Chain A
C-alpha cells in the first residue's frame, strides 16, 4: 500500500497555529546533521544581489517606469473622527495634466482592516478619502492642494480608557472591543500558584505604538492589458497580494500577475495587497493607462500599520529558591481601527517553566490607524513586561537575574505539552554570559559610587519565537546547457539574504559552484508558490524545498552523465560543478554534460514536507546589555549588546549576523526613542515624519556582538534550519531596561526610556 500523497501538518506563523494540507515531497533527504560534510552551506558567501544594490541598478517598485504611466496621490482625512460632507474636485480637475479622480463609487467592496476604501465616514486621521491621478506626481500633488473638503468633526476615541467607558462612542458598529473580550488563556490554577508563593510582585508596564518606518514606503504600479493586470508591489507576499487583488477585483487568479524583485524593507507591514495597490489597479482599469501610486512619508507613518501599544499588569509568584509558582497577566492592547489580535500573552505562556499561568488580553478599538504585525508581533511587547518583571522578582529574591532565568528554564513546550525539536537556550545563557563578562560587570556595577553622575548598569533578557516554518512551499531547479543553474521559487527577499541562501542550498545539493547558481524570486506568473515572508519562516519553509528540487535535478544529471561516462549513476559524485567517477580519473563538468544534452533540460521539482508531529520548533536567544545613564539629564546610552542565538543551522553566518544586528538596533530604537505621539484630544499623530519619529541613526548604535550557538536542528527539517529575523528584536528593550534598573536602582516601567521618563522614575523613587 502506498503512503498517502496528501497529509495534514501544523504550521505556526507569528503565534497563530494553522493546520495545513501538504503534498508529500518526492523524497525525504537524510537530514544535514552537525557532522554532515558540507562545502557551500555555512559559507560566508557574498550577498547575491549586492552588485545590483551598490550600483543603483536594483529596481524597486517606485523605480518601475512604464510608457504612458500616470501618477496617483491620496487625499487623506485631517481629522480622526467625523463625516465628510462634501469634497469639491472642480479646481483640481481643471488643472492641466490632471486625469481623473477615484472616489468611493469606483471601489465598491474594497476594504482594508474592516474599513471601506474611501469611506466618507472618518474612522482615523490619515484615512484615504479619494485619489487624484495626473500625468506626473508633481501635478498630482499640486492638484491635491486644490481640493476643497468640508466635514463634520466629532470627538475621537483616543485612549483605551475612553474606548472602554460605558458611554463611549462606538468605534465599530459592534462596539469598541472584538467579541469575547477579554481573551483568557490559562493552564493550572494561577490563584493556587500565588497562594503557594513565598514572594509575589506586581507591576504595570507600558509599551508605545511603534511605526515600521521602512525606508521604502508602501506603493504599487499597475498595468492592465486586456483582461489581465500586472501589479508591481512592495510586498512581503506576492501570492497573498495576488489573492487579495483577484478577490477584490473579481478576477481569476491567472489574470493577476504580481511582481516584486526588490523591496526596501517590510518588517511586517507589507503582508498583502496594499491600499496603494488597490488604488493603482482601480485607476489603471478606469483610465486604461499604467498607474503608479506610492505613499509619501507622512502617509506611510500615518496609515501603513504599527506595533500596538500595550498596558501589561503582571503578577509573579515564586518560591524562595526562585521557582516560579504563578505568572499572571492582565493586558490592554489598543489596536486602532482594526488589525489582528497579536497580543503579549503568548510569551508569558512559553518563556519559562511554570505550572500556573493565566493571561487576560483585552483588545480595544480606537479612532487611530490599524495595527499590523511588526517584527515579532506580541512577543516584543510581551518580553518587555515579563522580562522586566522577572528582574524585579530577582531583586526581591536577592538572586542573580540570570540565575533566576536559568533556574526556570522550560524543558518542554508547555502550551501544547510537547518536546522542542532542539533547545539550546542554556548554551545561549552560558556562552552569552561568558562573552559579555556578566559576573565581572555585575560586580563592578555594584561597587560604583552612588554619587557619580554617570552610572553603569547591566541587564539580561531571554526570548523564544516559533521559527519552524512549514509547507506549502515549492521550488524548481533548472540546469542550463552551459551548466549554470537557476533556482526558482515564489518567495521574497526583503533584504534578508533569501536569494543567497537558496542558491547555497542548491549548490551544496548539486555539488555545483555557487557562482553558477542564481535564484529567481518575486513573480506569481512564472514561479511556484512560496508563502509570505513573515514570522521568520522563509528559510525554514523554502530551503528544504530547494534541496529536494536540487536532489531531483542531480539525479537526472547523474543519469545523463552516467551514460556518457559508461558507468552507473551511483558511481558518480560532484563538487564545484565537476562530476567524477568514484575512484577513477574520468570526469565531466556540468557544462560538458549540458552541451552534450543540448536543449534537453534538467529540471528538478521540490516541495516542503510536513513538520514533525507533536513537536515545538522555536528559536531562542539570551541577550545582555550594558548601559550608561546620566542621572542629571536622564539620558541613556547603550554601550554594548551581546546576543547569543539558537536558530539551528546557519546557512550563511554573515547574512544571518546582519539580521541579528539589524534586529537589535531596531530594539534599541524601541527601548530608547521610538514612539508615535498622539494628541489625545484630537486623535492626531503628532510625529508622522522620519525626523520626529526617531529611528536609530548610525550614532545611536552600541557595540554589538551577536552570534549563534551552533547546531543543526535535524528534527525541525532536513536542512536543519530555523528562523533568524525576529528573535533579535524581542529581548533588546527589556535587557536595556533591566540594565537601567541596575544602574539606577530604580525601575522604569514604560518605554521608550526618554530622558524625561528616566528622570521621572528617579524622582518618584
Chain B
C-alpha cells in the first residue's frame, strides 16, 4: 500500500489488517510513535491524520492511503523545533518522555484548529493522552505557551 508519512510517499508491504501504529513502528521503523496499550486507551500512539489527532493503534493503515499522516518525526527537527517542542522543553512538560510524542501531536491538532485555546481547551484536547508521571500541570502551561509563540510568529 502507499502511505504518505511526514510528506514522503512510501510503498509499504503491509497487510490490510495491519494498524497504522504497527506499520509506522515495525515496517517503517519510525519508533517515535509509542505503543502503550494498543487498544485506544492511553494516547501514546497519537499521530495526525490530515491534521486531526488520531490513535494510530485503532486506525487501519489501509484506510490512510489518501491521507497525510504526521508522526513525531515530522513535527519538527532537533535543529528546527516546532514551537510546541520548544515549549515542552522550556516548561519541563515531560518526565519519562514515553507519552510525550502523543501529547505533542494531540496538542498540535488543538492549536491548528483553535489558535487561541483556553486552559480548559487544552485539558479537553489532551484528555485522551495519559501521563503516569503526572506532568499534567506543566503540559497545560507548555501548550498555552506554544500557542502564544505561534500566534506571535509572522
Contacts and interface: CB of A to CB of B under 8 A. Distances in A.
A270 to B, nearest CB: 11
B29 A65 contact: yes
Contacts of B94: 47, 50, 53-54, 495
A690 B134 contact: no
Given A55-B85, A698-B127, A265 B133 contact: yes
Nearest to B102: A215
Contact of B38 (A56, A216, A297): A297
B39 A297 contact: yes
Given A658-B138, A689-B37, A46 B72 contact: no
Interface stretch (A169-177, A198-206, A660-668): A660-668
Interface string A254-277: 000000001111010000000000
B137 A659 contact: no
B88 A690 contact: no
B18 to A, nearest CB: 7
A704 B38 CA distance: 31
Nearest to B124: A699
- Please tell me the size bucket of the interface on A: 35 or more
A137 B92 contact: no
B134 to A, nearest CB: 3
A180 to B, nearest CB: 36
A198 B136 CA distance: 46
Contacts of B127: 697-699
A666 B96 CA distance: 15
Given A54-B89, A56-B73, A661-B137, A698 B95 contact: no
B36 to A, nearest CB: 5
Nearest to B32: A56
A698 B132 contact: no
Most B Cβ at <10 Å: residue of A52, A296, A497, A662 = A662
B85 A263 contact: no
A60 B98 contact: yes
Contacts of B90: 46
A58 interface: yes
A494 interface: yes
B65 interface: no
A300 to B, nearest CB: 9
Nearest to B72: A56
A729 B100 CA distance: 22
A494 B96 contact: yes
Given A46-B89, A46-B90, A138-B22, A701 B38 contact: no
Contacts of B100: 53-54
Contact of B89 (A50, A263, A264): A50
A144 to B, nearest CB: 14
A213 interface: yes
Identify whether the interface residues of A are mostly helix, strand, loop, or mixed: loop
Interface string B77-104: 1100100010011101011111111001
A662 B36 contact: no
A47 B38 contact: no
Interface in A650-704: 654-655, 658-659, 661-666, 689-691, 695-699, 701, 704
A655 B93 CA distance: 10
A698 B38 contact: no
B135 interface: yes
- Please tell me the size bucket of the interface on B: 35 or more
A690 B35 CA distance: 12
Interface in A204-241: 212-217
Given A57-B32, A60-B34, A696-B134, A50 B88 contact: yes
B76 interface: yes
A215 B131 contact: yes
A710 B25 CA distance: 45
Interface in A19-77: 46-47, 49-60, 62-63, 65
Interface in B29-51: 29-39, 41-42, 44
A216 B96 contact: yes
A372 interface: no
Interface in B8-31: 15, 18, 22, 25-26, 29-31
Contact of A53 (B81, B97, B123, B138): B97
A213 B122 CA distance: 24
B134 A264 contact: no
A46 B42 CA distance: 27
B129 interface: yes
Given A136-B26, A138-B22, A698 B140 contact: yes
A496 interface: yes
Contacts of A664: 134
B56 interface: no
A214 B37 contact: no
Given A137-B26, A215-B132, A701 B95 contact: no
Given A58-B97, A264-B98, A265-B96, 16 more contacts: A46-B92, A47-B92, A50-B97, A55-B78, A56-B73, A59-B31, A63-B31, A136-B26, A215-B34, A215-B131, A296-B38, A658-B95, A662-B133, A665-B136, A690-B36, A696-B136
17 contacts: A47-B89, A50-B97, A51-B78, A54-B104, A55-B75, A56-B32, A56-B72, A57-B78, A60-B31, A138-B15, A213-B132, A262-B96, A265-B98, A297-B37, A661-B136, A662-B135, A701-B134
**A-B pairs, 6 with minimum CB distance:** A56-B32, A264-B98, A495-B96, A53-B97, A665-B134, A662-B134
Interface of B: 15, 18, 22, 25-26, 29-39, 41-42, 44, 71-73, 75-78, 81, 85, 88-90, 92, 94-101, 104, 122-124, 126-127, 129-140
